[in-house]
Amino acid sequence: MPKILIPTPLRQFTGKQDAVSVSGTTVGEALNALTTEYPDLRKQIFNDEGRIRSFVNVYLNDEDIRYMGKDATPARDADTISLVPSIAGGSALAEAPPVLSKDEILRYSRHLIIPEVGIDGQQKLKAAKVLLIGAGGLGAPLGLYLSAAGVGTLGLVDFDVVDFTNLQRQVIHSTKDVGRAKLDSAAEKMQAINPHLTIHRHETALSSENALAILKDYDIVVDGTDNFPTRYLVNDACVLLGKPNVYGSIFRFEGQATVFAYEGGPCYRCLYPEPPPPGLVPSCAEGGVLGILPGTIGLIQATETVKLILGIGEPLVGRLLLYDALGMKFRELKLRKNPECPVCGEHRTITRLIDYHQFCGVPRPGAAAPAQETPLNRNEIDVTEVKAMLDRGDEFVLIDVREPHEYRICKIPGAKLIPLGEFPRHVGEFNPEADIVIHCRSGVRSGKACHILRQAGFGKVRNMRGGILAWADKVDTSMPKY
Ligand code: ZN
């Protein structure tokens, strides 16, 4: 009996079989036998006149028999007949919606009874492929709700491990997950919510080298990152690939959301052509964030993602939604496409991915510390040496340039608190000959304070390397870290 190979989009009509052996002495008879056995397949392959649909090619072994006539072409027992529907052209066949099982129909019943969703919508959700960049604050609610809603394929990009300081907001991770890869922890929760999902883990830092290859297989990209190089990278890759970029960002009590690069709408670079100078906008690690805030913004992103998949409602395109949790206010700003945008405008200068760390003026994570001395790393001192100086009763001034609310969490005995913002006003109070050591939380702000003093002519100023976090690690392990 000749064998007929069934392509992936048609297997839903053959009980998932990828090959069916049928009787028949010509290709036509074999196809008739196949569609008699699987009647649902008939209208997929043949038109009303019984002719093979124009977007299906039929091969006998390796020969294209379209123009030879299926009825005239003999098929022998050892022959293989292949049905090859066009896929790249977006034919009806390639887009044949996935079938929902009885379990899935029950699971999604509250969707199915909404007319705007229904079976068709749920099938669109199941067919959709969505990539979440980041399994952190925004990725957590996105991952949980998009899984529950039945988005069939979810990709996750992250290379971080779960940390105690994540648990206040990254609700997809539990206390027992601390130390685990975020991808493993998140994928486990998502799969537990919905076993029908396909989850792809991309355990890597998204980079100019891998971004296009990772993004190209998805329909929608959701940006849940926390740094500028990745934001610009995601934006440019989405514009180059023509994928919508569902954007969200958070800081303390405020958030933003919009949909970039969708059907001619503006992109992130239309809004912000260039990143702020390094250090001007603090990250969540430096500036803090209300734990609930990423939930609100992440769910706005999830809502937009589901709307895009279903093709319903007014997408958040050309509008920047601003959320103020303290005032409990939403505002909306009009976003226009910038005709001079370097990546989506009329005279494009960015036609491939660039070096985004260089563009944003920040070092690559994990890159070796700069070999040359910079104004901010000059004259550092180790925490153990500061401890020895304190123990010996050496004459020196120890200054803490953190904020008062940080000082209340933990402090080094004897340190004088002068927040960095007030620091320039106090420069005149110090003796330029004095031995001065400055610290903050991790060493960045104290580096700036050291720079200010050196510019004012102070000669013996040292920055405590690693800040009070290093102190808590190496000197006083009972000290709380934050
Ligand atoms: Zn643009």
Q: What is the pLDDT of residues 233-277, one digit of tens each?
A: 999 999 999 999 999 999 999 999 999 999 889 999 999 988 887
267 flagged as catalytic: no
Angle ∠(6,9,10) on CA atoms, nearest 5: 45
Centre of ligand 1 to C-alpha 202, Å, is: 27
Tell me the Ramachandran region of residue 252: left when phi exceeds 0, alpha when psi lies from -120 to 50, beta otherwise: left
Rounded-to-integer distance, Cα 351 and Cα 333, Å = 28
Distances in Å between the Cα of 162 and the Cα atoms of 66, 175, 185, 206 are: 57, 9, 8, 18
User: In terms of C-beta density within 10 A (0-12 exposed, 13-18 middle, 19 or more buried), how is residue 181 classed?
Assistant: middle
90/323: higher pLDDT: 323
Three-state secondary structure along 359-376? HHCCCCCCCCCCCCCCCC
Query: pLDDT tens digits, residue range 122-174?
Result: 999 999 999 999 999 999 999 999 999 999 999 999 999 999 999 999 999 99
Centre of ligand 1 to C-alpha 35, Å, is: 50
Tokens of 318: 């050309």
Q: Which of 27-36, 193-202, 218-227, 406-415 has the lowest mean pLDDT?
A: 27-36
Please state the rounded mean pLDDT for residues 339-355: 94
Ligand 1 (ion): residues with CB under 5 Å are 267, 269-270, 341, 344
Which one of 284, 341, 344, 360 is the catalytic residue? 284
440 flagged as catalytic: yes
Rounded-to-integer distance, Cα 100 and Cα 398, Å = 67
pTM of the model: 0.71
Angle ∠(255,420,479) on CA atoms, nearest 5: 85
